[in-house]
Structure formats: structure tokens, C-alpha cells
Amino acid sequence: MDTLQLLASNRSFGGWHRRYQHESEVNGCTMMTFAVFMPPQASESNRVPVLYWLSGLTCTDENFMQKAGAQRIAAELGIAIVAPDTSPRGEGVANDEGYDLGQGAGFYVNATQAPWDRHYRMYDYVTSELPALIEANFPVNTRRSIAGHSMGGHGALVCALKNPDRYLSASAFSPISHPSQTPWGQKAFTAYLGDNQEDWVGYDASLLLRKVKGTDARMPVLVSQGLADEFLQEQLQPEALQEAAKAVDYPVTLELHEHYDHSYYFIASFIEQHLRFHSRVLHQSQ
């Protein structure tokens, strides 16, 4: 725990919600923040599985933990939840005036273009550095799942599809499903990865799905999308993900919900379903 600075601690449903700050070697900064909910079942003799949650544009680790209402069900199911920040932050970390680029908008990629390449390596942070830190310092096991919302839904799907050996299941609320063909994704990918769109393929869930071969490992994926979402057609394009999944017979379940929008009211309405979806896999006999 010497590498972690405790920022806050709150009792919740018999478990603990805590926020930490630490120095990130991957992102080259001293202000990486994450939150963790540890359920009451967790102990050194009973290490619990982990759901990693990736948040969306302009969010931090706090949005999900404060608004989704996930702790009650996570406590019942015996699942830890880890929610990292959406980007590196701090003095010297590149930023942009727009809300959809820079701090708060890391897009869970490893940037290759200056000035972003110095700090913005959120893909490596989420898939490697953060899990190693969590597993070294908390009573968790190596059974992991991943989920997210909007930009974080994009990140969760990409991390899962690129690492089927690291995650047992994936889910997303309102994900940016085909970012190489949407304004948010095109802006971020051009800045972080450059103009060559071949370099974008590895961070587009719909394109990654189409590359899955018949013998490749697969995991269950659940996607929830509100039909009253103001970003649905221009930015999210769930139909591209659905078509790609059908093309390669990948187990993606897309659920469309009438009248629901892009907000945390939507997430709070269906977070129990998502947690139980992950629990069925995370608690399967090894």
C-alpha cells in the first residue's frame, strides 16, 4: 500500500468504498486516481473477483460510484468494483479546450502522437498496470470482467476483445460502438493515433469483432442502449456492433430500451442486470 495515497473512505452496504491516488509509470504522471468498492465478503482468505468499470467523457472515478447505485448488489454478489479515472491529469499533462479531447477524454487508447504520447496510455493502464496494482494490494483474485458507459463502453469492449484471456465477460451502456466512423472517435483517434486510419482499427470494437476467427476465444457480452439517447445515431451506432457480431457469430446481446437516454438514470435502472450477468461468469467453478 506504500504506493497508494488514500483520499476518501466510506462504509457502504457492509463493505468499503475508497478512493486512491498513485503515481502511474505507464501514464508518466503522479495523479492517477481510482475508486474501489470492496464487498463485505472480501478477505485474505476469501479473495473476490473484480469488475472494472470505465466511465465516459468528462467523467472521473466518482461518477459511477456515486450515481449508479451498484454497491448494494455488488455487496450481495461478492464482487469488487474498480473504477479508474478517464485520463491522466496534473501539471504537464496535455489538455485541450474541448470536452471530448484531453483530460477527461483519454478514450482508453495508447497515444502515439505528440503531445499525447507522453502521458496518454490508458489502454495499458487499464489492462495491465491497474490490475497488477489492485491484485497486489487488495483481497481480490484474478477473475476479472469489464464494463463501461459511452466512451467507457467503447473502452470496455475494446479491452475485452483484445484480451479474451484476461476478462471473463464484458458489458456496456450506450457504447461508442464504431468510433472510427463517428465525430467523437474521429477527433480523438486523429489526435491520439494520427491520420492513418489503419492505426484506428485496433480501437474500434465493431472492426475488432469482424477480425475474430472461428477458433478464437469468446466471452459473453451484454450491451444496453436507450432509444431516447440523443447521441444514438451520430455517435454510438450500436447496429454496427450488432452486424459485426452476427457476421462472426460472437455472443453479443444488444438490448434496446424505449424512452431511456444517455444519463446515469439509465445506468442505475439496469446496473443490477449487468452485475448479475457478470456474477454468473465470475463465480463459475474454476
Positions marked catalytic: 150, 229, 262
Residue appearing with cell numbers 476518501? 8
3-state secondary structure of 229: coil
Answer for the pair 64, 56: CB distance below 8 angstroms, yes or no. Answer: no
Answer for the pair 251, 218: CB distance below 8 angstroms, yes or no. Answer: yes
Burial (CB < 10 A; 0-12, 13-18, 19+), residue 196, is exposed
Q: Give CA separation, 27 vs 23, 37, 186, 221, in Å.
A: 9, 23, 22, 28
3-state secondary structure of 211: coil
What letter represents residue 12's amino acid?
A: S
Radius of gyration of the chain (CA): 18
Closest CA relative to residue 34, chosen from 123, 158, 134, 164:
134
Cell numbers given for 179 = 468510433
Q: Give CA separation, 21 vs 12, 89, 239, in Å.
A: 20, 11, 38
In 45-172, which residue ranges form alpha helices assigned H by DSSP? 62-67, 71-77, 122-124, 130-137, 151-162
In the chain, which residue ranges form alpha helices assigned H by DSSP? 62-67, 71-77, 122-124, 130-137, 151-162, 183-193, 205-210, 238-248, 264-282
